[in-house]
C-alpha cells in the first residue's frame, strides 16, 4: 500500500463497497481479529461462511478454511489475503498417497480432519473439526473400521477418549508439535494451581499434563469461566488476545517451546495474513479461491455429512 494509507479506514470503506464480511480465526494477528466481523473456530467459521448474505467473504485464516467457505458457499467470492497460507497437516497428506492408503483398506471409512486439502476432502466420507469430532465419531457404529487423518495426535486423543481403535495417518501440526514437556513442567512449577488448557493437536506428552482439552472455542470458554486467575494455554498464542479482551483481570501464559517461550508456537501460515494484504485483497479482489465444480461437489459430500452430524 502507498504511504499514508489509513489501512483500517480503507478496509472498512472497501468492505462496505464490496458488501464483504471479514471472518477471522483465533490464530490471526490481534489487529485482524479486532477488525473482523466474526472471530471463531473452524466449525463456527464454516457455519458463518455458509449462512452469510454478503457477496464477498474475506477469509482471514489458512487456505483450507477459505476453500471450505467456497465449497459451502460457491456463489460467493472468497478472498484470502495470502494464498500461501497453507497448513502442515494439509502438506502431510498428498491426495495420491491418501487415495492409495484408502485403497489398501477398502472396508474402512475415512473420517478426516478439516485441516486437509479439498482433494482429500473429496476422497473422504465424513469431515470433522476438533470441536465436532467426538460427537461425530460417537455416531459411527462400533463395528465400522475407520481411517483417521491427517492429524495423528487428534486421532490418538479421540481413540483414547472414546476407547476406539482407528488407523491413523501420520501427520502433525508443526505448531502444537513444538510444545516442550520439560518447559511446560517448569512453568507449572512456577504457577502451582494454574490449569493447563490444551488443543487436541498437541502430542500426548503435553495432553498428559492438561486439565482441559478442546477446540479453540472451548479453550477460550474455559479461560473465561475457570475460577483460576492464571491459565496456561497450550495452543497457538494469538488466541490469548481474545482471552485478555474478555477477562483482562486474569493472567494467560502461552505454553512454551524448547526455548522456554511461546514464540516458536506462532503458526507461520496464519501469520502470513496482514492488515496490508487484507486491504490489497479487498481493493483488487485477488487472490480468490477457485475450485473446479466436480471436485467441489465431491468435497461437499463429506463436509455436508459433518454439518448434519455436528448439529
Ligand atoms: P479449531 O479452531 O477448530 O480448534 O482448529 C484449530 C486449528 O489448528 C486450525 O488450524
Ligand atoms: Fe495448520 Fe497447525 Fe497452523 Fe492450524 S496451527 S493452520 S493445524 S499448521
Q: How far apart are the C-alpha atoms of 118 and 96, rounded to whole Å?
A: 13
Residues 6 or more apart whose Cβ sits within 8 Å of residue 264: 178, 257, 258
For residue 222, the CA-to-ligand 2 centroid distance in Å is 21
118 lines ligand 2 (CB under 6 A): no
Full residue range of the structural domain in which residue 117 is found:
89-172+298-310
Question: ipTM > 0.90?
Answer: yes
For residue 146, the CA-to-ligand 2 centroid distance in Å is 23
Check whether 1 has a pLDDT greater than 60: no
| Same domain, residue pair 217 and 240 | yes
Proximal ligand: closest to the CA of 270: 2
Proximal ligand: closest to the CA of 25: 1
Mean pLDDT, the chain, rounded, equals 97
Residue 133 falls inside a structural domain: yes
| Same domain, residue pair 200 and 123 | no
The predicted-structure confidence for 225-272, as pLDDT tens digits, reads as follows 999 999 999 999 999 999 999 999 999 999 999 999 878 899 999 999
| Same domain, residue pair 135 and 110 | yes
- Which atom of ligand 1 approaches the CA of 42 most closely? 3
CA 91 centroid distance within chain: 15
115 lines ligand 1 (CB under 6 A): yes
| Same domain, residue pair 132 and 75 | no
| Same domain, residue pair 233 and 257 | yes
- Which atom of ligand 1 approaches the CA of 40 most closely? 2
Proximal ligand: closest to the CA of 42: 1
Residue 1 falls inside a structural domain: no
The predicted-structure confidence for 273-288, as pLDDT tens digits, reads as follows 999 999 999 999 999 9
pTM of the model: 0.97
| DSSP codes joined into one string, 104-140 | H-TT-EEEEESSS-HHHHHT-SEEE-TTTHHHHHTTS
Residue 189 falls inside a structural domain: yes
235 lines ligand 1 (CB under 6 A): no
| Same domain, residue pair 182 and 241 | yes
* pLDDT for position 261: 86
Q: How far apart are the C-alpha atoms of 76 and 90, rounded to whole Å?
A: 24
| Same domain, residue pair 168 and 187 | no
| Same domain, residue pair 80 and 93 | no
Binding-site residue positions for iminosuccinate: 25, 42, 113-115, 130, 199-201, 216
Residue 192 sits in a domain of what CATH number? 3.40.50.10800
* pLDDT for position 36: 98
Residue 276 falls inside a structural domain: yes
In the chain, the number of structural domains is 3
Dihedral over alpha carbons 40, 46, 49, 52 (to 10 degrees): -80
pLDDT band at residue 6 under the 50/70/90 scheme? very high
The predicted-structure confidence for 27-70, as pLDDT tens digits, reads as follows 999 999 999 999 999 999 999 999 999 999 999 999 999 999 99
Residue 134 falls inside a structural domain: yes
Among residues 144, 140, 211, 200, which one has the least CA distance to residue 172?
A: 200
| DSSP codes joined into one string, 246-291 | H-TTSEEEEPPBTTSSGGGGS-TTGGG--HHHHHHHHHHT-SB---
| Same domain, residue pair 184 and 250 | yes
For residue 154, the CA-to-ligand 2 centroid distance in Å is 12
115 lines ligand 2 (CB under 6 A): yes
| Same domain, residue pair 157 and 303 | yes
Contact status, residue 211 vs residue 176, Cβ threshold 8 Å: no
| Same domain, residue pair 102 and 165 | yes
| Same domain, residue pair 105 and 185 | no
How many helices and strands in the chain, by DSSP H and E?
16, 12
Amino acid at each position: 500500500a502507498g504511504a499514508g494509507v489509513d489501512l483500517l479506514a480503507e478496509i472498512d470503506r472497501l468492505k462496505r463497497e464490496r458488501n464483504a464480511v471479514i471472518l477471522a480465526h483465533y490464530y490471526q494477528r490481534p489487529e485482524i481479529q479486532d477488525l473482523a466481523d466474526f472471530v471463531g473456530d473452524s466449525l463456527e467459521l464454516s457455519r458463518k461462511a455458509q449462512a452469510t448474505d454478503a457477496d464477498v467473504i474475506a477469509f482471514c485464516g489458512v487456505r483450507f478454511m477459505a476453500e471450505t467457505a467456497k465449497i459451502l458457499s460457491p456463489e460467493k467470492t472468497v478472498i484470502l489475503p495470502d494464498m500461501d497460507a497453507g497448513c502442515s497437516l494439509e502438506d502431510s497428506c498428498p491426495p495420491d498417497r491418501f487415495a492409495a492408503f484408502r485403497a489398501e483398506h477398502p472396508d474402512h471409512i475415512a473420517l478426516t480432519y478439516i485441516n486437509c486439502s479439498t482433494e482429500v476432502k473429496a476422497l473422504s466420507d465424513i469431515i470433522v473439526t476438533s470441536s465436532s469430532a467426538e460427537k461425530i465419531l460417537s455416531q459411527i457404529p462400533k463395528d465400522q473400521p475407520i481411517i483417521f487423518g491427517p492429524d495423528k495426535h487428534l486421532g490418538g486423543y479421540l481413540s483414547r477418549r472414546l476407547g476406539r481403535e482407528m488407523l491413523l495417518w501420520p501427520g502433525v501440526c508443526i505448531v502444537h508439535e513444538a510444545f516442550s514437556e520439560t518447559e511446560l513442567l517448569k512453568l507449572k512449577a512456577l504457577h502451582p494451581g494454574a490449569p493447563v488448557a490444551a488443543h487436541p493437536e498437541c502430542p500426548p506428552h503435553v495432553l498428559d499434563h492438561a486439565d482441559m482439552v478442546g477446540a479453540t472455542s472451548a479453550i477460550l470458554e474455559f479461560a473465561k469461566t475457570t475460577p483460576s486467575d492464571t491459565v496456561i494455554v497450550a495452543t497457538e498464542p494469538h488466541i490469548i488476545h481474545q482471552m485478555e479482551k474478555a477477562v483482562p483481570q486474569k493472567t494467560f501464559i502461552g505454553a512454551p517451546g524448547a526455548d522456554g517461550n511461546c514464540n516458536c508456537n506462532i503458526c507461520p501460515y496464519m501469520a502470513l495474513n496482514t492488515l496490508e494484504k487484507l486491504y490489497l485483497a479487498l481493493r483488487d479482489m485477488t487472490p480468490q479461491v477457485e475450485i473446479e465444480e466436480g471436485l467441489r461437489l465431491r468435497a461437499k459430500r463429506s463436509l455436508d455429512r459433518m454439518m448434519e452430524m455436528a448439529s
